[in-house]
Chains A and B, each alone.
Chain A
Amino acid sequence: MNAATPSLWRGLFLVLLAALALAPVYAQWASEPFIVTFLTRALVFSLAALSLNLILGFAGLVSFGHALYLGLGAYGVGLLAHHGVDNGWIQLLVTILACALVGFVTGWVSLRTSGISFIMITLAFAQMFYYLFVSLKAYGGDDGLSIASRSDFGLLSLGHAATLYYVALACVVGVLIWTSRMVRAPYGMVLQGCRMNETRMRALGYPTRRYKLSAYVLACVLAGVAGLLYANLTGYASPAYLSWTVSGELIVMVVLGGMGTVAGPLIGTLALLGCEEWLKSLTEHWPLILGPLIVLVVLLARRGLLGLLGATGEAEARA
């Protein structure tokens, strides 16, 4: 691999971000508002996938219940709006606190296990909350809760499609920038060390469980923010957001794009949702095509699409 390659990929990635930034302008010009709706959904899921990548990709914790926090964020908006609180800052604060609390407690329990038990226990917690929200008949139960008024952040109201879009984009870009620094900083190195060799990390003097728990809680909070945005996009909070299929989709997005890479989750999400839309327009049997495609990418490249393109981090480049 020659030295120019990483900067070439960085350039292409910046072009992608620029295209995302200009998408609403194009949608306006072409009178295709659907584009903005679709891309907002893609960005919201990218944010959730980026947060999952923090624990799945970097720390090696396969959480199969990450949709729980997406759902908590959505219900944070839904329940508060239902009771007349549409102040976005309060909704954000409640979402962050709820996700941090639930993340801390479930993480503290789950991190006592590893491997398949960890997968199952995170799934179990998510299912618990799924049925909790199904049982809340006062808040729509199974049908979910429709949200009449969107989050109001003073200057910004997430009821406006373009505003919501740019807020989601800003969140994604912010997390991308932070992740790209974190990877080479002590925190990122410690998390990756825990994934590769936790025993050795302890022998070096690292309280590994503390680091993993901190990453877990952080990932939960970020997913909660994604949930808050998602509720504003759909105008709805539903138990379906917490379902295990959503958790599974998030894993697919991360794995497809490239686990433990900075940009992988964004690429994976765009690719998955984009393919889905495209195949839906061709045939109603689209899952029959999409499934094998995903299997193919995962089989061919250890680091997903980014790995396939040869655009992953430095470790590969040095080898």
Chain B
Amino acid sequence: MTVALQTEGLVKRYGGLLATDAVSLRLQQGELHAIIGPNGAGKSTLIGQIGGDLRPDAGQVQLHGEDITALPTWQRALRGLGRSYQISSTFPEFCVQDCVALAWQAHQGHGFGSWRALWRRPGCEAAVLAALDQAHLRAQAERPVRALAHGQRRQLELAMVLVAQPRVLLLDEPMAGMGHAESQQVVSLLQGLKGRYSLLLVEHDMQAVFALADTISVLVNGRIIASGRPAEIREDPVVRSAYLGDEELPA
């Protein structure tokens, strides 16, 4: 198996606080690797460093063997690192299909063209509608983002990531704040992506994580205390005492 994404001894300090403590992660090609951990464990900080929004104080991030630690966010994106945000981060004044078209355009060379409408560029419509289909958002294509329900905004996040056909997906709590039915839709969507994409998933929904993940890493106080198959994690006494406590794990 080849490694899609890897971090080596990532360290991030905020003053005296060690938010990321020598994190070494390995995401295999085609697998879904979930990161779980209590609030404040440093999950978002970790994702931020992999995506490029945050600079690590030490350590390395590698994408398909290439060191991308020093690259700005946009260059990481162009190298195939797609990312969704925990708090829906879209373009409120655009309609749904415009957001996805903008995400598509980023990978079509420069965007300085200022005469022909983006929507009329060859390939745009097909790619955008396909991504909207994947994210079950086709019916909302022409609605303004402002008018979307919370769950639909989460789906739009996914469509904007998928349309770029990234090699590695960083998904920061794609199911945050979703109802059960909506979560189920996303779970089945992610199920379908496994194998074709390599996914790094941060998620609070334990049921979803244990149903989806090939590998789970447990992050506590910025450190990975355990990493392994879901079955191993479930049985791991360290994980149970440090993080899961008396919480019942899904079978």
Residues of chain A contacted by B103 (CB below 8 angstroms): 204
CA distance A161 to B144 in the complex (A): 47
A-facing mask of B102-120, CB < 8 A → 1, else 0? 1101110001111111110
The contact of A193 among B91, B144, B147, by CB within 8 Å, is B91
- A149 interface residue, CB < 8 Å from B? no
Residues of chain A contacted by B73 (CB below 8 angstroms): 202-203
Interface of A is mostly: helix
Which of A41-49, A129-137, A182-190 binds B?
A182-190
- A113 interface residue, CB < 8 Å from B? no
Q: How large is the interface on A (under 10, 10 to 19, 20 to 34, 35 or more residues)?
A: 20 to 34
B-facing mask of A166-201, CB < 8 A → 1, else 0? 000000000000100110111111101100110111
The contact of B51 among A185, A197, A203, A319, by CB within 8 Å, is A203
Residues of chain A contacted by B113 (CB below 8 angstroms): 185-187
Q: With both chains docked as a complex, state the minimum distance between the C-beta of B91 and any C-beta of chain A, in angstroms.
A: 5
Residues of chain A contacted by B40 (CB below 8 angstroms): none
Contact B160 A204 (CB under 8 A): yes
Residues of chain A contacted by B53 (CB below 8 angstroms): 199, 202-203
Chain B residue with Cβ nearest A317: B144
Contact B111 A318 (CB under 8 A): no
Contact B91 A186 (CB under 8 A): no
Contact A206 B101 (CB under 8 A): no
- A182-235 contacts to B, CB under 8 A, are 182, 184-190, 192-193, 196-197, 199-208, 211, 214
Residues of chain B contacted by A208 (CB below 8 angstroms): 74
- Hey, which bits of chain A sit against chain B, CB under 8 A? 178, 181-182, 184-190, 192-193, 196-197, 199-208, 211, 214, 315, 318-319
Q: With both chains docked as a complex, state the minimum distance between the C-beta of A99 and any C-beta of chain B, in angstroms.
A: 19
CA distance A53 to B144 in the complex (A): 23
6 tightest A-B CB contacts, nearest first: A205-B77, A205-B106, A187-B114, A186-B111, A184-B117, A182-B114
Residues of chain A contacted by B89 (CB below 8 angstroms): 197, 199-200, 203
Contact A184 B95 (CB under 8 A): no
Contact A189 B101 (CB under 8 A): yes
- B113-145 contacts to A, CB under 8 A, are 113-119, 121, 142-144
CA distance A258 to B218 in the complex (A): 51
CA distance A292 to B60 in the complex (A): 58
Contact A205 B98 (CB under 8 A): no
Chain A residue with Cβ nearest B109: A186
